[in-house]
Amino acid sequence: MMQQAAGIDKAVNPAPDPAVVGRMLQLIYGRLAGQVVGLAAKLGIADRVAAGTTTTDGLAAELNANSSSLRRFLRALASFGIVAESAPDEWRLTAGGELLRGDARASVRDLARLFARPEHSASWLELEHSVLTGTSAFEHVHGMDGWSYFRENPEAGEAFNAGMSSIASSIHQAIAGAYDFSGIRLLVDVGGGHGRLMARILERFSSLHGIVYDMPHVVEGTGPYLAAHGLADRCEAVAGNFFEGVPRGADAYIMTAILHDWDDEACVKILRNCRRALAPGGRVLIGDFVLKPVNEPDIGKMIDLEMLVVTHSGRERTEAEFRELLRQSGFRLNRIVPLPSGNSLVEGLAE
């Protein structure tokens, strides 16, 4: 009877596809991989190899590390395609590893460091809290929102700013290269920080003038940044609060990674302020992830969970949700421009 039952079980539950099993294990081990990459960024492995320290023993000496355990760590990095062993215990960077260098044009080193930090990891360990309650696990764990936490913990705040700057660099390059700003006379970057996106756009479109609009303590550093890049005569920094209003008379208003920080009500308020200030025939440009259909793989859906875990009310949105936000604000969705950085530029035209 036991043999017969075993045979029935085998027929009803055939062996799973090994590729599917492998994929599931990859997902389960994925968190560990992120910690490995984050530690490689923290230890500066890519910077050290690029500077000429290419042996296991040499790296161990610089890091005051156990050579045997470091080799095991480097071997794991090699399995991820971040380094490669060119000779026994001799390492070189791959194309992926190059992006972990601090001086790489599209460096992700500081982003990897940020995601491996204890305050971030502790928040994600409480993902269940966010999924069941709809509220921030970060606030649940740390007793305050992220902005308050970073003010009280300057080291964490610096790590957060560096991580955001690291990913923003590739997004800024993508926007400046993928969208035609030539028909715009005056562009306002709403929540534009120190003007890095504006600088990339102004460098490519010589007839364009700009305004970088942000909180007073932020724009203190904007003028010097623009001057250092020779753009002070074509762009000014203006202080204010985008919930209260924005500079008037621009042909276009752009905001990147701004609306995803807020709920729909707040987003409509920001967009309506832009609509009221807009010159006739103008447009609004939103740089955020546009979520793909439910069954399609999409890194944006993971970023959406990141917003659920670490922010008070932030979220990524679908095309339909952007269309509705724009409609409520006096715009119509005209087109969505996918960017090489994985997110998109949503273009809304004034109704």
Q: 188 lies in a domain?
A: yes
The residue-averaged pLDDT of 137-144 equals 97
346 & 198 share domain: yes
Residue 325 confidence (pLDDT): 98
Q: Residue 326's CB: how many other CB atoms inside 10 A?
A: 25
Domain count, the chain: 2
Q: Residue 346 sits in a domain of what CATH number?
A: 3.40.50.150
Q: 123 lies in a domain?
A: no
204 & 298 share domain: yes
Q: 82 lies in a domain?
A: yes
Ramachandran quadrant class, 117 (left: phi over 0; alpha: psi -120 to 50; beta: rest): beta
Q: Residue 62 sits in a domain of what CATH number?
A: 1.10.10.10
Residue 164 confidence (pLDDT): 87
**Domain enclosing residue 19, as ranges:** 2-100
The answer to whether residue 6 scores a pLDDT higher than 80 is no
Q: 318 lies in a domain?
A: yes
Q: How many Cα atoms are found within 13 Å in the side-chain-facing hemisphere of 176? A: 20
The answer to whether residue 4 scores a pLDDT higher than 80 is no
Instruction: Quickly state the pLDDT bin for 67 (edges 50, 70, 90).
Output: very high
Residue 288 confidence (pLDDT): 96
Residue 341 confidence (pLDDT): 81
Instruction: Quickly state the pLDDT bin for 161 (edges 50, 70, 90).
Output: confident
Q: Locate the DSSP E strands across the chain.
A: 83-87, 90-93, 186-190, 209-214, 235-239, 252-256, 283-288, 290-291, 317-318, 331-338, 344-350
The answer to whether residue 1 scores a pLDDT higher than 60 is no
Query: Looking at the whole model, is its pTM more than 0.85?
Result: yes
Active site residue 129: no
* Marked catalytic residue, from 120, 142, 194, 260: 260
Residue 12 confidence (pLDDT): 62
Q: Are strands 344-350 and 331-338 parallel, antiparallel or unpaired?
A: antiparallel
* Cα–Cα distance, 135 to 347 (Å, whole number): 30
Q: 64 lies in a domain?
A: yes
Mean pLDDT check: name the lowest of 70-84, 153-167, 320-334: 153-167
Residue 14 confidence (pLDDT): 78
196 & 287 share domain: yes
Q: 66 lies in a domain?
A: yes
Question: What is the dihedral angle through the alpha carbons of 230, 236, 239, 241, rounded to the nearest 10 degrees?
Answer: -110
Q: Which of 100, 134, 154 is the last residue of a domain?
A: 100
71 & 203 share domain: no
Mean pLDDT of the chain: 93
Q: Residue 25's CB: how many other CB atoms inside 10 A?
A: 10
pLDDT, tens only, 216-273? 988 998 999 999 999 999 999 999 999 999 999 999 999 999 999 999 999 999 999 9
pLDDT, tens only, 178-216? 999 999 999 999 999 989 999 999 999 999 999 999 999
Q: Which of 65, 100, 135 is the last residue of a domain?
A: 100
Q: 228 lies in a domain?
A: yes
205 & 308 share domain: yes
* Cα–Cα distance, 82 to 92 (Å, whole number): 9
The residue-averaged pLDDT of 47-63 equals 98
